[in-house]
Structure 1
């Protein structure tokens, strides 16, 4: 069983007392939970099918070909249509016994829901269960928002880990060792800063189709610079404090001083920059998708929805949905960062009461 020391418990209670940060954490956690298990909430495949005395689940692993129900589905069952047939009590279906349970949003982010004598985009409709309407090719906007959020949040967190791993290591080393090591990496960073990031993306996108991993590596290639400068400055400041001089006089190794003393005492700065890094990752991916240099179609993307909203200004539900999702996400991440910075700042806590 994991036991927490009194200082950690005190920090957690302090964070819970900061209502804006705590409730933002709850909201973001719910958003992440729904997006990571989106197949259970937003999917064109049924959750459960009961037909002629047998249960069929899970249906989204293609365990139920259309031929099972003998309803004319040659390749894949249309579960929304099947539900309607169950409800109409046709001669080969007993509606009183057969039933189907669909997700709350019975559409996947890739399918086109088109109508006769009508052209998308379609406005929000609770009857059709397009709660935020469709885009200009008939795909459900809510489905693409949720699946796009999952892609964006994973991208941002992985990018954060990569940038922080490189940036904190190099920045602390620059500040701690100084001298020629510091001067060498200063010149490297100055060269890196002069490389036009967007041009690199454009050049690579013209050669190969950008994938999730390619975009991640390119952004990580340039994204570690910001936190490196911050950690360099903080390390220069911390290494001259009395507690560092004390542990150094006791014979502590360089690695122990950096990882056991300097980094823990700069955690408030690291945490302060983390939400901005996550927000920056989401905005960067959205911007690249908007410009057409991001993830390839038909990958669900907030940037691609923004582009559609710009091209279809009459379809107000497209751009308003994406903007609302972006504002909510960026605001909650920022509030969480503020709450964690205030609650977990080591200078506000001590084990000596």
Structure 2
């Protein structure tokens, strides 16, 4: 579908801001990779070829018996016996000398002098998930090496895998909270500013009382009662964050409600909701978009702070705040601090640059040169 002339002008203005344009490309690549985290970092194979048939263990449960084993539990694909069963097509010799049979099946496709059908295992580029406890053979946290490019944390989990999953969690959390708080805040500010009078007065008193509520104490109380998860945190952040845009939108609507085009629309009988959201709101978007970078970066910072303090997501979750806490507790492992710092610096900088370009794109005073 072709863009309207107005949106074409906005897109040209956005592309004219080269920093914002390239930040959008880089951020889209990084976030796109994180959205496919199960294909990039996983301790289960992406594909397994066994006796001529293909399986996708990363997406489906397969018991060990599906590959010629004895147990109904999920196959442990990194065990040498299971790998031998897959590569040697379920050869019973795998129980006697799995390493030798695996080596022969890999190089020659034969086992114990008998012809066998060679299997295949395709792993993710990072063969660890965010919660994989690795047998590193030394004390954790361990420094970066060929197997763990960013090292491991104090429970021997791969740091790179946790960064990939943590990036997705933090950005998704921030985007969901920002969208929900923006919708509620813009609607509330529009009603206040457009109607004014007693409506504005009542809303202002409610916001003053709501804004005085100690949100951190409420979150601590909720964390003590319930097991905190992603959606509970989203609800709490929206509950206390929707007021961020109310003041800006209210001021813009108070300014625009007496403009000539608004009076003309009223005189023609145009419904209030149409005037508010089709005619007045677009003129208030520049001031609104100016606030969005602060909301989205503040949301990421709030999630990180809650995880750092222990009131956010469970410690098993791929949280960047939990990684920051580990960096504080393991000063002898500087790679944890460097990883957390550069992850936050890159993520927040890219988001600020992108929203800076979006703000300029919606500014009617700026034109493409």
Q: Would you say same fold, with TM above 0.5?
A: yes
* C-alpha separation in 2, matches of 1:312 and 1:236: 53
| Secondary structure of residue in 2 paired with 1:56 | strand
**Structure 1 residue 62 displacement after superposition:** 3.9
Q: Is the aligned partner of 1:282 residue 2:293?
A: no
Q: Matches of residues 238-249 of structure 1 in structure 2 within 5 Å?
A: 238-249=256-267
Contact 1:290 1:307 in 2 (8 A): yes
**Contact 2:61–2:74 (Cα < 8 Å) also in 1:** no
Q: Deviation digits for residues 285-321 of structure 1, max 9, x if unmatched?
A: 1110000000123111011110011000111111111
Alignment of 1:257-336 (within 5 A): 257-336=275-354
Q: Which residue of 2 aligns with 1:90?
A: 100
Is the 2:42–2:126 contact (alpha carbons within 8 Å) kept by the matching residues of 1? yes
Contact 1:48–1:55 at 8 Å: present in 2 too? no
Q: Which residue of 1 aligns with 2:29?
A: 30
Deviation per CA, 1:32-62, whole angstroms, max 9, x where unpaired? 111111111110111122344x243211234
Indicate yes or no: 2:104 matched with 1:105: no
Moved more, 269-278 or 162-171: 269-278
Give runs of aligned pairs for residues 45-194 of structure 1, distance below 5 A.
45-52=44-51, 54-70=52-68, 75-81=73-79, 90-91=100-101, 94-96=105-107, 97-116=118-137, 118-126=138-146, 128=147, 130-194=148-212
Per the TM alignment, residue 328 of structure 1 is displaced from its structure 2 partner at its CA by 0.6
Deviation at 1:70, TM superposition (A): 4.2
After superposition, the Cα gap between the structure-2 partners of 1:242 and 1:12, relative to the gap in structure 1 and judged at 3 Å, is same
Deviates more, 1:337-346 or 1:58-67: 58-67
Give the greater-gyration-radius structure (CA).
2
How well do the aligned residues superpose, as a CA RMSD in angstroms? 2.2
Corresponding position of 2:112 = none
> In the alignment, what sits opposite 1:43?
42
| Contact kept? 1:167, 1:224, Cα under 8 Å | yes
Counterpart of 1:64 in 2: which secondary structure? coil
Alpha-carbon distance between aligned partners in 1 of 2:69 and 2:341, rounded to the nearest angstrom: 42
| Structure 2 residue runs without a partner (length 5+) | 89-97, 108-117
Distance 1:89 1:158 in 2: 48
User: TM-score w.r.t. structure 2 length?
Assistant: 0.87
- CA offset at residue 79 of structure 1? 3.2
2:295 alignment partner, SS class: helix
CA contact (8 A) 1:46 1:60 kept: yes
Distance 1:277 1:229 in 2: 14
**Preserved CA contact (<8 Å) 1:7 1:349:** no
8 Å Cα contact 1:234-1:266 kept in structure 2: yes
Q: Would you say the 8 A contact 2:13–2:366 is kept in 1? A: no
Aligned residues: 345
Residue among 242, 247, 251 paired with 1:224 = 242
Distance apart, 1:327 and its partner CA: 0.7
Measured in 2, the distance between the counterparts of 1:22 and 1:303 equals 29
> In the TM superposition, what is the alpha-carbon distance from 1:63 to its structure 2 partner?
4.2
Please tell me whether the aligned partners of residues 56 and 64 of structure 1 are also in contact (alpha carbons under 8 angstroms). no
Larger mean CA deviation between 264-273 and 306-315 belongs to 264-273
Gapped runs of 5+ residues in structure 1?
none
SS in 1 for 2:100: coil
Aligned residues of 2:49 and 2:55 also touching (Cα < 8 A): no
Residue aligned with 1:299, SS: coil
Paired with 1:49 and 1:15, the residues of 2 have a C-alpha distance of 45
Task: Give CA-to-partner distance per residue, 1:196-231, whole Å, 9 cap, x none.
Answer: 111111111122222222211111111011100111
Secondary structure of the structure 2 residue equivalent to 1:49: strand
In 2, Cα distance between the equivalents of 1:270 and 1:188?
21
- Normalising by structure 1, report the TM-score: 0.91
Separation in structure 2 between the aligned mates of residue 207 and residue 338 of structure 1, nearest angstrom = 40
What SS does structure 2 have at the residue aligned with 1:320?
helix
